[in-house]
């Protein structure tokens, strides 16, 4: 079945450091890939997405590239801020039709000033 | 624009009690979902409703029932709560086609003692 594996946290960084959170997936066919972010006390919100191989999703300085050859969708940001402290979830879903997302376990990011 | 609204935000139940978690969305989405979030396990799908009038089991449906009351509302019922159902519950909605993103409510933190 479909599954998502992401690196365990917490990831602790200083402000302005470079961020990478690894995500790999197993899926049949050609899924869409997502990164969701959960700020403390809130629900999940979509951060970025990519719907086909080699697509790059980007938002708020975060980027992730859909790599079919390595079945990966790693999240990166060049310079993190304290306000980026949150839990990040990698997820996959279907490319068409009804959407039933499969989530990774989440990675907590802590950014200190 | 309220998005997805869940009630209540917090609840403490005794083992064996019943309760219903309410969810409503104002985005005219066809599909709605209930997830639970547990430490180290990410989000797991409990039940979903692809469209008004249909409901289906997800990954972890045991101990739960759902009702798609109308297009806007999708409730989750615990008939006889157990400590294993202590979790954070999220409702989400999405449109059906083209890998549309899922929108999440703020969650209900449920403790069963």
Tens-digit pLDDT profile for residues B45-88: 999 998 889 999 999 999 999 999 999 999 999 999 999 999 99
Arithmetic mean of pLDDT over chain A: 92
Task: Tell me the pLDDT tens digit for each residue of A41-55.
Answer: 888 999 999 988 999
CA distance B66 to B31: 14
Residue A96 is predicted with a pLDDT of: 61
- Given a contact cutoff of 8 angstroms between Cβ atoms, the answer to whether B109 and B9 are in contact is yes
Is the predicted pLDDT of residue B97 greater than 80, yes or no? no
- With an 8 Å Cβ cutoff, is A2 touching chain B? no
**Is the dihedral angle over the CA atoms B80, B86, B92, B97 positive or is it negative?**
negative
* Mean pLDDT score, B37-49: 90
C-alpha dihedral (A68, A74, A75, A79), degrees to nearest 10 = -120
- Report percent pLDDT > 70 for chain A: 96
CA distance B41 to B62: 17
A40 touches chain B (CB under 8 A): no
* Cα separation of the two ends of chain B: 36
User: How far lies B27's CA from each of A98, B31, B74, in Å?
Assistant: 16, 11, 13
Interface test with A, best of B1, B42, B49, B50 (most A CBs within 10 A): B42
CA distance B16 to chain A (A): 28
Q: Please, which residues 59-88 of chain B have a Cβ atom closer than 8 Å to chain A?
A: none
pLDDT at A73 over 70: yes
Q: Is the pLDDT of residue A98 over 70?
A: no
pLDDT of residue B1: 62
Q: What are phi and psi of A89, to 5 degrees?
A: -115, 130
* Contact between chains at A98 and B31 (C-beta distance less than 8 A): yes
What are phi and psi for residue A90, nearest 5 degrees?
-90, 145
Can you tell me the distance from the alpha carbon of B99 to that of A101, in angstroms, rounded to the nearest whole number? 10
- The pLDDT assigned to A95 comes to 63
Looking at chain A from residue 4 to 23, which residues have their Cβ under 8 Å from any Cβ of chain B? 4
Return the pLDDT at A41: 84
């Amino acid at each position: 079945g479909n599954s998502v594996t992401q690196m365990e946290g917490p990831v602790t960084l200083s402000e302005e450091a470079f961020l990478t959170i690894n995500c790999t997936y197993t899926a049949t066919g050609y899924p869409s890939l997502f990164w969701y972010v959960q700020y403390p006390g809130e629900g999940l919100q979509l951060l970025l997405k990519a719907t086909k191989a080699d697509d790059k999703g980007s938002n708020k300085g975060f980027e992730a590239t859909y790599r079919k050859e390595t079945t990966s969708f790693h999240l990166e940001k060049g310079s993190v801020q304290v306000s980026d402290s949150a839990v990040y979830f990698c997820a996959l879903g279907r490319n068409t039709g009804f959407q039933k997302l499969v989530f990774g376990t989440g990675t907590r990011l802590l950014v200190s000033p | 624009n309220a998005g997805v609204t869940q009630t209540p935000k917090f609840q403490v139940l005794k083992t064996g009690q019943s309760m219903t978690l309410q969810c409503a969305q104002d985005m005219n989405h066809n599909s709605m979902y209930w997830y639970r979030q547990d430490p180290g396990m990410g989000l797991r799908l409990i039940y979903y409703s692809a469209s008004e009038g249909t409901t289906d089991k997800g990954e972890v449906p045991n101990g739960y029932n759902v009702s798609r009351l109308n297009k806007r509302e999708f409730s989750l019922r615990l008939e006889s709560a157990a400590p294993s159902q202590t979790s954070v519950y999220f409702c989400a909605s999405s449109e059906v086609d083209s890998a549309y993103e899922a929108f999440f409510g703020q969650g209900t933190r449920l403790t069963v003692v």
